[in-house]
């Protein structure tokens, strides 16, 4: 979640927990929103709030692999977050593929498991 779980500290903790439990690879994307689903704008924690997070959601994706229309943070925001994730994953030996289905503007990788 932008501004809450995509910082270096959170990503390092996540990569550590995954590798400790035997996971070796995964697929990643940002939380996506559908405007028809109401989220509680009053959710807040340590300076983060749902209301502020929703303001980052400026990129519209139509007809993604699940169908319908979704909203994501800007390409610049997602590129920076994915670069941070890839760097940390590489340091820990965790394989990360990025979800092209929901990020076709910035990713060409396939997020589906490879045999």
Q: Is residue 66 part of a domain?
A: yes
Q: Is residue 112 part of a domain?
A: no
Q: Can you give the residue range of the structural domain that contains 48?
A: 8-98
Q: Is residue 104 part of a domain?
A: no
Q: Is residue 2 part of a domain?
A: no
Q: Is residue 29 part of a domain?
A: yes
Task: Look up residue 114 and give its DSSP letter.
Answer: P
Render pLDDT for 17-68 as a digit per residue (tens, 0 to 9). Answer: 999 999 999 989 898 888 777 667 777 888 888 888 888 889 888 877 777 8
**What is the tally of structural domains in the chain?**
1
Q: Is residue 77 part of a domain?
A: yes
Residues 6+ apart with CB under 8 A from 33: 39, 54, 57, 70, 71, 72
92 touches 19 (CB < 8 A): yes
Q: What is the pLDDT of residue 20?
A: 93
Render pLDDT for 64-109 as a digit per residue (tens, 0 to 9). Answer: 777 788 899 999 999 999 999 999 999 989 999 888 888 888 888 7
Q: Is residue 113 part of a domain?
A: no
51-104-28 Cα angle (round to 5):
65
Q: Is residue 110 part of a domain?
A: no
Q: What is the pLDDT of residue 79?
A: 94
């Amino acid at each position: 979640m932008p501004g809450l779980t995509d910082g270096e500290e959170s990503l390092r903790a996540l990569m550590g927990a995954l590798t400790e439990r035997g996971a070796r690879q995964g697929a990643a994307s940002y939380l996506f929103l559908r405007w028809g689903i109401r989220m509680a704008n009053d959710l807040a924690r340590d300076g983060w709030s749902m209301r502020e997070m929703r303001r980052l959601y400026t990129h519209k994706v139509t007809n993604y692999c699940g169908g319908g229309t979704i909203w994501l943070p800007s390409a610049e925001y997602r590129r920076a977050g994915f670069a941070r994730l890839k760097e940390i994953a590489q340091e820990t030996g965790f394989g990360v593929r990025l979800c092209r289905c929901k990020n076709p503007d910035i990713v060409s990788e396939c997020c589906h498991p490879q045999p």
